[in-house]
Amino acid sequence: MKEIKFTRKTNETNIEIHLNIGAKGKVKITTSINFLNSLLEKFAANGNFLFSLKATSSPKADQRSFVKDVGISLGKAFRTYIKDAKGLNGVGFFAFPLDESLAIIALDLNAKAQNVFKAKFKTHKISDLKTEYIKEFLSGFSQGAACNLTTFVPYGNNDRLKAEAIFKGLGKALSMACSSNYMLLKDIPAIKGLANKF
């Protein structure tokens, strides 16, 4: 296991991440959006990821830009962590049921950045997070991790449960993609044997 540190600074945001996959410890998430903190904690718990994330923004930053920057930063942290790693599955998927909701997540870490989001929310906000920015977070994550990410929520009545199922499913799918496949220990699994590097 290795620990990596990733920092992203822009004119509007300052984000710092420490990441260690599979390690034990307490996850620490600090952003100005309480519901985003909760979703990221659920993502970490379901993926067995140990990380700390601290994100601040300037008064000029809008929530959309801030949420997407957090997604980009977390994606880049994972991309840095798995860079040149051998023996990984590289692909992960999970169907996460949560009460009457279902979220299906599939991702390929060896593909070009692509985000497909098929989910609808009935409300404008869940707590202090605008629901439309969940897609922006996932788009940012896909961009930062340079992965193909598909999110599909075929049904569900409660927007909070749908959002939680998405982040829990993402954790599970990413954990599968980052797990070892002992038949591939000498390879970086990708088309033509070359992992996509950004």
Spell out a b/e string for 117-141, using b for 16 or more CB atoms within 10 Å of the CB, else e: bebebeeeebeebbbebbbbbbbbb
Which architecture, in CATH terms, is 4-193? 2-Layer Sandwich (3.30)
For the chain, which residues make up each domain, given as ranges? Answer: 4-193
Q: What pLDDT is recorded for position 183?
A: 54
The answer on pLDDT for 59 being more than 70 is: yes
Q: How far apart (Å, rounded) are the C-alpha atoms in residues 162 and 168?
A: 10
Q: What pLDDT is recorded for position 88?
A: 85
Q: What is the pLDDT of residues 136-180, one digit of tens each?
A: 999 999 999 999 999 999 999 999 999 999 999 999 999 999 988
- Whole-prediction pTM value? 0.89
Whether residue 5 contacts residue 58, with contact meaning beta carbons closer than 8 Å, is answered with no
